[in-house]
Amino acid sequence: MTVESDDEIREALEYETIAVVGCSSTPGKAAHDVPAYLRDRGYDVIPVNPFADEIFGREAFDSLADIDAEIDVVCIFRPSEEVSQIVDEALERDDVDVVWTQQGIRDDEAARRARDDGRTVVQGRCMKVDHRRLIT
């Protein structure tokens, strides 16, 4: 299902473990500040960035496939043209319930594949903005 309503977004924000693909180690970048905000609000944020060893004092993984822990949400901070491959990696996992692309990022075909596989999809929305608006 593609999430549009506030109630559906609230449900997507109830999950606890978020793998952030494209997580940045650079403060001031959205791909760093949004996951930092989520960590500060109690979410378990798993950084995915093949060019970093550690982000937020936690091991950064090269890909979703390298993560042994359970993942509820895959949050994507990569260009739209990379979304398809990331969604395919997410669909290889049985534990991912939500695929969320950040503001300005979307791939309708990849979103359709995720929905067809029973995953919840949020496209082009900022988790921090929606969390501030609906949860805090």
What CATH code is carried by the domain that includes residue 15? 3.40.50.720
Residue 11: exposed, middle, or buried by beta-carbon count in 10 A (0-12, 13-18, 19+)?
A: middle
- CA separation for the pair 35, 107 (Å, rounded): 21
* 28 within some domain: yes
* 46 within some domain: yes
Domain that includes residue 80, residue range? 6-134
- CA separation for the pair 118, 126 (Å, rounded): 22
Q: Give per-residue pLDDT as tens, 87-119.
A: 999 999 999 999 999 999 999 999 999 999 999
* 1 within some domain: no
Number of domains in the chain: 1
* 107 within some domain: yes
pTM for the predicted model, two decimal places: 0.96
Q: Give per-residue pLDDT as tens, 11-38.
A: 999 999 999 999 999 999 999 999 999 9
- CA separation for the pair 104, 95 (Å, rounded): 26
* 74 within some domain: yes
